[in-house]
Structure 1
Amino acid sequence: MTSRKTLGGRMARWLGIFVTTAGIGASSQAHAATAADQLYERTLMTSADARCRLFKPAVGSALDAARAQARGATLRSGVSEVQVQAVEQRARAKAGVAACNSPDLQTAAGRVRQAFDGYSTMLRMTYPGDRATWQADRSVSATIPIWRLSQPAGFGGDRLVFGLSGRANDMLAVAVFADNAQPYTARLVVRDTLRTQGPYLNARNAKGLAANAAPRNASRVFGAETRDAAPPTLLPTGAKTGLSFRFPREAADAMSRLDPREAATVEFVFTSRTGVDVVRRAYVEVGDFAAGRAFLR
């Protein structure tokens, strides 16, 4: 989207990019305002596109990915979830009353096309986070399973690749275990956004990403729907064999609603010799998962 400096006064007022940041600390206010401005603009234009069909699908998906990325940046800047939702609601309300043939809207749409046309043709994107990185790839294959959005992780001596794969963007956890152990199932544990007011950041007696994972009593748990031998193209680098667990589509929706700073937990469940379940846990940084997912559309 065109920056504040290049927008004329009338256009800037119509877009409403001078977003209030009441309640944000002075030290972070400038950064938060910039991120919130971008969130407002991109939410407004994605909402207007949904009503007026302003953009071709490739440009629309690129804009939506940028909107999701701006949302994550706004949360990272210290703005609360409630404040972010207020910005989004204000943007959607503005888009809802704009006439599709409005000169201001058409001018703004033209600037979006100019800004995102090249972005919409990109096949790959990297979304770095605080501790981990998502790799997005728009390539598809009718015969070879490939990662479309993925993040690797290590846990103990074991390794994991987690993300979306294939034409259907199935959510998978593909794991290799150093001792050749065979879990009988896997679970994805994410914060329940309907029962909590925000992420749990460094709130637990843990290190690394584990410190940013929500406690069990504040989480939703998704059990794996399938357990299969992993295709070689999805295995962690250098691995020859491994297991693939597929989670329900609803799990991807739930993860898209999380704060980028928090972590999701992937649990692998084994049966011990005594018959008691043993769990090994891996942690995945949420980061720009929502932006990467939107990029694939």
Structure 2
Amino acid sequence: MLAALASLVMSATALAQEADSAFLERAALRAANTNCKFLDASEALALDMGYWQARGALLRGNYELSSVNAMQFEAEDYAISKPCEDEALLAATERLKNAFLAFSRTPFMEYSGMYRQWTATRTLTDVWAAHQEDNVTGVRLGLIYPQRSSDPMGFADPDKPREQSVFAVLLPLPKGMTAPSTAHLIVRNPAKEPNPWLGGPFGWGGSGLSIPPLALTNRIFPAKRQIVDAPPYGDGGATPGVLFMFDEKAQGQFEALDPREAVRIDFIPSDRDKSSRPMSVLIEVGDFRAAAAFSKIPRNRPEPQTAKAEAAAVGH
């Protein structure tokens, strides 16, 4: 822990717990790394993962958003005020590097929210980098590799760089179901409702999840539609699915939401399809940003330098 920083903010919050310390240290290290470049790209992604996970844990633990933001500002101010050779920062960085070495071979992780979870993977063979699945409909929202979604059983070449994942939603199509013509992603509009929408005690359909009134939301349209295989991916007899891919701006609007919030996906049938009706699914924002950061950590990485060596290099 960064003892001086932790004690400073703990005295201000009075009821600080272990989650405080994890968040404070990760927020401070992110700020310090911006100036001092202690971490390589993989370690920085691991730090981002831990930061977003700790932030989500505090908010789900009934910390006020204003308190979490104040803790972050305090941590960042502390880190920025210290030189790159500061012993406390170097010690915290070494702890992170050692922890990363132990976890760097982990192929997948799960990130639990209040009601749902995100699953993230770092393997070459997975179609999804990170996803959340609705247990009733099988709908998945998350980051997908478009090339592998077209050929999920295809061979993955370990010598080729991983393709960029895309923010997308997949609707499985059971036999007899007509593919909808489009899908709309409904998210809170921060210009109309700046505060997180946490809904009522029961939420939509008893799920505990809810979205704001439609007048306070943005309706986001996909950039591309494609028919693909839907999970589970097997040899023959695979269930088809319709994949709707969104642009980076849509992903940014989703990431900007509070992890306790939810979004709604509306699947809209074609005007020519008179037998189908619109279908809606809710997805919890949760620790999507932590899952996304984990999925981007490459499996192969150079041998790490120590924090002291990197701090010395920055000084030259």
- TM-score norm. by structure 1 comes to 0.81
Between the aligned partners of 2:78 and 2:195, the Cα distance in structure 1 is 26
Which of 141, 145, 169 is 1:162 aligned to?
A: 141
- Post-superposition Cα deviations, 1:233-255, rounded to whole Å, max 9, x if no partner, equal x5356752111100111222222
Q: Is the 8 A contact 2:210 2:282 kept in 1?
A: no
The aligned residue for residue 159 of structure 2 is none
The secondary structure found in structure 1 opposite 2:10 is coil
1:86 aligns to 2:70 (yes or no)? yes
Segments of structure 2 that go 5 or more residues without pairing to the other structure are 146-162, 297-316
Counterpart secondary structure, 1:172: strand
Note the alpha carbon deviations across 1:218-270, whole angstroms, 9 max, x for none: 2222111101112x3x5356752111100111222222232323221111111
Q: Identity of paired residues, percent?
A: 26
Change (3 A) 1:287 1:80: same
Over aligned residues, Cα RMSD in angstroms? Answer: 2.7
- Bigger drift between 66-75 and 129-138 goes to 129-138
Q: Hey, what's the Cα distance between the residues in 2 that align with 1:284 and 1:211?
A: 8
- Asked whether 1:180 is paired with 2:148, we answer no
Q: Secondary structure at the match of 2:291?
A: helix
Larger strand share, 1 or 2? 1
Q: Is residue 191 from structure 1 mapped to residue 182 from structure 2 by the alignment?
A: no
Amino acid at match of 2:40: K
Shift, 1:181, TM fit: 2.0
Q: CA deviation at 1:134?
A: 1.2
User: 1:120-177 CA distances to partner (integer Å, 9 max, x unpaired)?
Assistant: 3322111123322211011236xxx71010111145xx43122101231201111124
Q: Is 2:222 aligned against 1:224?
A: yes
Instruction: Look up the equivalent residue of 1:19 and give its one-letter code.
Output: M
Match of 1:147 among 101, 107, 128: 128
Q: Which residue of structure 2 aligns with residue 7 of structure 1? A: none
Return the letter of the residue paired with 2:42. Answer: A
- Indicate whether 1:34 and 2:21 are aligned: no
CA-CA distance at 1:42 after TM superposition = 0.5
Cα offset, 1:278, TM superposition:
4.5
**How far did residue 75 of structure 1 move?**
0.4
The SS at the match of 1:266 is strand
Does structure 1 residue 248 correspond to structure 2 residue 227? Answer: no
SS in 1 for 2:204: coil
Q: Distance in 2 between matches of 1:280 and 1:243?
A: 14
Matches of 2:119 and 2:227, distance apart in 1: 23
Count of aligned positions: 274
Larger RCO (CA under 8 A, 6+ residues apart): 2
Q: 1:17 to 1:35 in 2, by over 3 A?
A: farther
- Distance of aligned partners of 1:274 and 1:222 in 2 relative to their CA distance in 1, 3 Å threshold: closer
Matched, 1:50 2:34: yes
1:112 to 89, 96, 105: 96
1:38, 1:137 → 2: CA distance?
23
In 2 relative to 1, CA 253–16 (structure 1 residues): closer, same or farther, beyond 3 Å?
farther
CA distance in 2, matches of 1:274, 1:132: 32
The gaps in structure 1 that reach 5 residues or longer are 3-10
Distance 2:103 2:178 in 1: 43
Matching of residue 19 in structure 1 with residue 13 in structure 2: no
Higher mean alpha-carbon deviation, 168-177 vs 272-281, is at: 272-281
- 2:46 and 2:100 in contact (8 A); partners too: yes
In structure 1, C-alpha distance between the alignment counterparts of 2:205 and 2:27, rounded to whole Å: 35
| 215, 222, 233: which one aligns with 2:213 | 215
What amino acid is the match of 1:160? V
Does the 8 Å contact 1:17/1:41 carry over to 2? no
Cα distance between partner residues in 2 of 1:216 and 1:150: 25
Which residue type is aligned with residue 102 of structure 2?
Answer: G
